[in-house]
Amino acid sequence: MPVRDHARTIGWAALMALLLALFTVPPNASAASLTQVSGFGSNPGNLSMYSYVPDNLPSGAPLVVALHGCTQSASDYYSHSGWPKYADAYGFALVLPQTSSANNANSCFNWYQSSDYTRGQGEALSVKQMVDYAIAHYGSAPGRVYVTGLSAGGAMTAVMLADYPDVFAGGSIDSGIPAGCATDLSSGLTCEYSPVSKTPQKWGDAVRAASGGWSGPWPRVAVWHGSGDTTVNPANATESRDQWTNVWGMSQTPSSTTSLPGGTTQAVYNDISGKPAVETFTVSGMSHGLAVNPGSGADQCGTTGTYYLNYVCSSYYTAKFWGLDASSGPGSGSLPAPTGLSVTATTDTTASLSWNGVSAAASYNVYRGGTKVASTSSTSYTDTGLASGTGYHYTVAAVDSAGSVGASSSPVLATTNGYIPKCFTDNNYNHVAAGRAHQSGGYAYANGSNQNMGLYNLYLTHTLEETSDGHYVIADSGCPA
């Protein structure tokens, strides 16, 4: 029936209601989708950024960064991994970086290439810039940022955790390789097929060296691997376990072990407070891939496909380990978030905080980088033993007399005094690639100062001094650092 004749039958008002119903998204339907983001930073690693932000996500929600494996894409990982289900259920944003064949013939993240795995350079810096963008534009909590990845994405996850322990509160290395195992493609292949055996101390030293002098708190790390993996030797999971338990100063003997679905064995390594800091998940018989378990149950997720294998929902158990489910982390109690959190003073090694009291609070938990560092009955606290010239994110949560932890406050950034200048001498091309400069119209310009460094090429060399975080000036005549 033509629309005009139909209108005479049901009336114009009814017709408009019908059309409105046909073209309006129901209130309980999600309009969120995977979206590409441009302009997130200088992007020295030439990566693409995709994000998934659930509707009505409040400010201060967590953020999960998910890195795909070789031959995969952000869309592929989004569709199969199960992470969007828990982003909706638990309330957090997802960022999915994507590399391409222009960077790597197999579209792998270059976890073994020094220009990409070094803090402040290449792909590692591009991923960090995506985190900065999400915090600024989605309101993600700086102290509750997590990273996970499969295969080369798992190896890159280890890189990000080692490079930026000040950014990531936790990580999950799925069928990956320890940080610092390789320095080029040849050694990367050795790590992949014939894993390098080092002492826990040497593995831990690799993280400490990559971190830029970070002294803690360290990320809480999950390690997933199939016992039947012939692409990345399962011994890498043991080496990753050794690496992160050493960083935490813990024994390599588990505090407990548990049997999970899909023939999975979970081993837990607790910190000195008795809280899990490292967990390993060994999936019996599973070949190379990410463990998923399609279904509608709370502990089921994902869809099967190439390198997505039906055993157990790894994303569910990882999210619980990080405390992203509502019952596990800060915010499970009924007390409101403290207001007025502010930095009252800093020295080279301390940061002093204060906040407004919460009625019925018996005490307050103080979190640095998402990890609890203190419990106090006061509405002020001074954190000690910090590195100079370093930024630290803090939140505070009220605790009631029964021990239930309320909602976390909005985060604040405290930067200790005494920033130590750093100097870098390289050609203009490499300065741009490392994120110390940018290019426009065939010329290179120092980031921050915007000083003209000359033609953007391999032949002009400059010394750049980083006078504050991300601010560079030309220092060819001598660098005080």
* Domain annotation covers residue 328: no
> Do 151 and 230 have their domain in common?
yes
- Comparing CA positions, the residue from 434, 463, 436, 439 lying closest to residue 452 is 439
> What's the pLDDT score for residue 185?
93
> What's the pLDDT score for residue 367?
85
CA distance 240 to 171: 12
> Do 137 and 196 have their domain in common?
yes
Angle, to 10 degrees, between the axis of helix 235-247 and the axis of helix 200-210? 70
> Do 5 and 50 have their domain in common?
no
* Domain annotation covers residue 332: no
Q: Which residues contact 382 (CB under 8 A, 6 or more apart)?
A: 350, 351, 352, 353
Using CB atoms within 10 Å of the CB of residue 64, give its burial: 0 to 12 exposed, 13 to 18 middle, 19+ buried: buried
> Do 298 and 356 have their domain in common?
no
CA distance 477 to 481: 12
* Tally of CB atoms within 10 A around 412: 19
> Do 266 and 407 have their domain in common?
no
What CATH code is carried by the domain that includes residue 406?
Answer: 2.60.40.10
Q: What 8-state DSSP symbol labels residue 280?
A: E
> Do 433 and 401 have their domain in common?
no
* Domain annotation covers residue 337: no
Q: Are 353 and 381 in contact (CB under 8 A)?
A: yes
Structure tokens at 437: 């400069």
> What's the pLDDT score for residue 31?
61
Residue ending a domain, among 415, 434, 459, is 415
What CATH code is carried by the domain that includes residue 108?
Answer: 3.40.50.1820
Using CB atoms within 10 Å of the CB of residue 4, give its burial: 0 to 12 exposed, 13 to 18 middle, 19+ buried: exposed
Angle, to 10 degrees, between the axis of helix 200-210 and the axis of helix 152-163? 70
Write down the catalytic residue from 48, 51, 140, 151.
151
Q: Which residues contact 359 (CB under 8 A, 6 or more apart)?
A: none
Q: Which residues contact 272 (CB under 8 A, 6 or more apart)?
A: 249
> Do 273 and 173 have their domain in common?
yes
Q: ω before 217 within 30° of 0 (cis)?
A: yes
Residue ending a domain, among 397, 415, 433, is 415
> What's the pLDDT score for residue 333?
60
Identity of residue 68: H
> What's the pLDDT score for residue 21?
37
pLDDT digits (tens, 9 = 90+) for 202-239: 999 999 999 988 988 899 999 999 999 999 999 999 99
Residue ending a domain, among 367, 391, 415, is 415
* Tally of CB atoms within 10 A around 256: 11
Domain count, the chain: 4
Structural domain span for residue 195: 35-322
Residues of the chain with pLDDT under 70: 1-31, 326-333, 369-370, 419, 480-481
> Do 106 and 11 have their domain in common?
no
* Domain annotation covers residue 329: no
CA distance 194 to 178: 13
Q: Are 462 and 430 in contact (CB under 8 A)?
A: no
> What's the pLDDT score for residue 177?
97
> What's the pLDDT score for residue 28?
36
Structure tokens at 75: 């869309």
> Do 245 and 269 have their domain in common?
yes
* Domain annotation covers residue 331: no
pLDDT digits (tens, 9 = 90+) for 278-303: 999 999 999 999 999 999 999 999 99
> What's the pLDDT score for residue 462?
93
> Do 4 and 97 have their domain in common?
no
> Do 17 and 71 have their domain in common?
no
Instruction: Give catalytic status of residue 240 as yes or no.
Output: no
> Do 83 and 54 have their domain in common?
yes
